[in-house]
Amino acid sequence: MNSPHRTDGADNHDSLDSTAETGHPSRPDRRRILRTTGFAGLAAVGSLLIAQPAAADPTPAADADADALKPKDAVQQADTVARLLSFEPRYLADGTLAQVAGYLKPGDGGGMLVRWDAASTLVPNGGTVLAPAGAAKGRWLQIHDGVGDFRRFGIFDGKAPADAALDAMVNDPAIHRIEAHTDLLFVKRHTFSRSGIELDFGGNTVRTDGIEKAGQDDPFAAVLLFRGKVTDTVVTHKLTAVMPDLSDVFEVGDSSKFAVGQWWAAEVNQLTGRWEKELQKLVQVTQIVDGSRIRVNYKNGWELAAGRTITWTRVEPVERAHVRDMVFFGVEGGDQYTGSHPVAYEYAVSCDVSGIEATGTFWPVIMRRWCTHFRTEQCTLKNPASVTWGGAGYLTQQIYCLYGHVSDCHTANSRHLNDFTASAYCYVENCHGDGDDQGPFVTHGQYEHDLVYTGNSGLMTFANSGAAWGSAAKRITVRKHVCSWFVARVKVTDLTLEDVQVIGKPSLQGSGMIWVNADGVQMRGCSASDTLILSQQSSRSGRPNVIDGCTFALPAKSEIAQANVTSPVHISRSVLTGLDGNTWNGTGELRLTDTILRGRENGAPVTVAAATLVLDGCTVKDTGLRAAGKADQRIRLEGGTELSGTGTLLSRADAAGAVTWELAGHRSVAGGAEAVHVSLESGRNRYLATGSQFTGGKLTLKAAAFGDGSYLMHTGNVEEGVTRTELPQDGPRVQTTGNLVV
């Protein structure tokens, strides 16, 4: 009897004639079926397993043949999953294999190999576990090589939600890779804790229209959240000795509570700020040093005083859970509840993300906290839902993270491309932001350290979130960077800038500025088109503040160094232009070597409050230098330093302090008859000029400027066409002879 299940016009393979051998024309004999080769033969076997009409022959011979036709070893064939599920379970031997040609139709990519487990009661999920209708027991289990495919769950477009299929595959420990070959729709926010999984979306589009609402202020409510397990094993220890910077050996009290290979979240007690903690990292134990100390895979970046308390919490992190190649569209107009973003990690190790192209997300596209060893590559964000809400509009944010590498990423009209908070030993390269007024590259200032940026572009600010986080960072290096604004003005220690070019733009007020903290800052080959500001809010560094080979254009009357700069600053082989009434209010030593100071025509002199000002081999053109310190000052010009201009080239303000002038082999050229080389009219002055050359203009050294506590020695110089408007008479503290006057 022919099975009635074929309705697609294909050949009816049940019509094989086996009457001569079996005497039952309605049933082919088993040996002939097994002799049949190819797809047709397999389909013939499968067709026998379809539910038969009630009129099937009930004779004992027929029952015997029915038993014979439960082929466990032959691979059955079904065109579709629906056809597979129409097989009658009572005809299926446990372990029977079946090849399905497609999920909805043959060749649609949803085909699979399945095995019949007659005793299984697993919950069917439409893909890896399939159940015939109404079957309480017996399941078709998908056989695979560890690669899952949404098409094998009947997902072929972005119309039907793919959430159940995603959960089934990720939660199947036999699957190590999941592939998407079509667009997808997710309406749930998923949390996973498994390791060793890769999700490759194949460049297909993922949408989240209608996604369930997130909780309040929850940037981890991503479509995909991989979160490790935080155990209840906690060890707390108060340090008995100072823990120095860059130490990887930690006091823990009793090291027997730790084991090599374990992961722990290490966190020091806070300082005065609400979130001010120097240590918050996910680290691995690498050695039991002795009974009270362990070594971990991290060199702490900050000295910790004796008496500080470190809390250790054992963690079982997610490891090697990767997400690749997704085009993601967030909910249009989404907010913290309705918005969406693709990926988040917490307590994760070696979890990488690459190839995500996101548009319209709310929270960071890739959100990480308590993560160690990771890569974020070739990801982009365009036009996020918000750039003003705190924490929204980012491409990637890393909190308490170690050993991260962010590369080849891009943002457009976004808030931050990359944000580090309390993170260390991370590298950002070849990342670029346009529409970047919100600042693509930032750190919070929660004790970040040892970060490197190379070959990026976009506005950059460091440690700018406020005192609650500590406003501190150290050992940050930026190379080959282009931006409209660079600010690292708070407690950023040992900042290194190499070939950083800051170019202002009309659309952003205050752009064109470099503002740095004079605490071990070193700048080489940098430029700013509008402003240079040095301030000092920390004094942790042991290395000098050096500006070398740089160019800065300055607005008139701007403050170059603030009064809180007390550390020495050395500027060498650099050019400062646009000077006109600018001020250097820092009191630390200022040394300029082979540097050009160029003013505006008829501009006012630069006012300097530095305790010591040394110019060696410098050129000062169209501006002058005016000593204005509240305490004693020393001004020294040497090494062929040349001053020229039409105004007063050297002078002092009315102040209580004494000014020591050392003019040793410099050259001063007046730009007109009214120009003044040196003008000292009051105060206490200790003036020594020897081996110098004065050309044109005037020399004004009034007697009132050389009273008690002063002296004047002007000898061994060349004065060419100079008018001495007023000099005191020679005496015990004054000598003005012995010059060549022509």
Structure tokens at 153: 């769950």
Q: Are 446 and 279 contacting, i.e. CB atoms less than 8 angstroms apart? A: no
At 60-79, the pLDDT tens digits run 444 444 444 455 678 999 99
pLDDT per position as a tens digit, 99-134: 999 999 999 999 999 999 999 999 999 999 999 998
Query: How many angstroms from the chain centroid is the CA of residue 334?
Result: 24
Query: Cα(629)–Cα(613) distance, rounded to whole angstroms?
Result: 11
The CA distance from 582 to 599, in Å, is: 10
pTM of the model: 0.89
Instruction: Examine the pLDDT at 13 and tell me if it is beyond 50.
Output: no
pLDDT (0 to 100) of residue 365: 99
pLDDT, mean of residues 25-48: 37
Question: What are the start-end ranges of the E strands in 378-466?
Answer: 380-382, 394-399, 402-407, 410-412, 416-421, 424-429, 432-434, 441-443, 446-454, 460-461
- CATH number of the domain at 229-316, please? 2.40.30.10
DSSP per-residue codes, 208-248 = -TTPPPP-TT-TT--SEEEE-EEEEEEEEEE-SS-B-TT--
pLDDT in tens, 235-294: 999 999 999 999 999 999 999 999 999 999 999 999 999 999 999 999 999 999 999 999
Contact yes or no for 150/182 (Cβ under 8 A)? yes
Per residue in 581-627, pLDDT tens? Answer: 999 999 999 999 999 999 998 899 999 999 999 999 999 999 999 99
DSSP letter string, 165-211:
HHHHHHT-TT--EEE--S-EE--S-EEE---SEEEEEEEEEEE-TTP
Across the chain, which distance is largest between two alpha carbons, in Å?
Answer: 145
Which pLDDT belongs to residue 72? 64
* Measured distance CA(352)–CA(374) in Å, rounded: 5
Residue 27 scores a pLDDT above 50 = no
What does the domain layout of the chain look like in residue ranges? 13-145, 151-212, 213-223+318-435, 229-316, 437-532, 554-742
Q: Cβ neighbours of residue 57 under 8 Å, at least 6 residues apart?
A: 24, 26
Candidates 2.160.20.10, 3.40.50.620, 3.40.640.10, 3.40.50.1820; CATH matching 213-223+318-435: 2.160.20.10
CA distance 196 to 508: 46
In the predicted model, what is the mean pLDDT of residues 670-695? 97
Whether 643 contacts 665, CB under 8 Å = no
Average pLDDT over residues 559-586: 98
Mean of per-residue pLDDT scores for the chain: 92
Rg, Å, the chain Cα set: 39
Amino acid at 138: G
**Residue 736: its H or E element:** none
Cα first-last separation, the chain: 132
Average pLDDT over residues 367-371: 99
Enumerate residues 6+ apart whose C-beta is below 8 A from 575. 550, 551, 552, 595, 596, 598
Residue 74 pLDDT: 86
Is the CB of residue 371 less than 8 Å from the CB of residue 401? Answer: yes
Q: Given a cut of 80, is residue 56 above it in pLDDT?
A: no
pLDDT value of residue 62: 44
Q: Return the exposure string of 95-131: e unless at least 16 CB atoms fall within 10 Å of the residue's CB, then b.
A: ebbbbbbbbeebeeebbbebebbeebeeebbbbbbbb
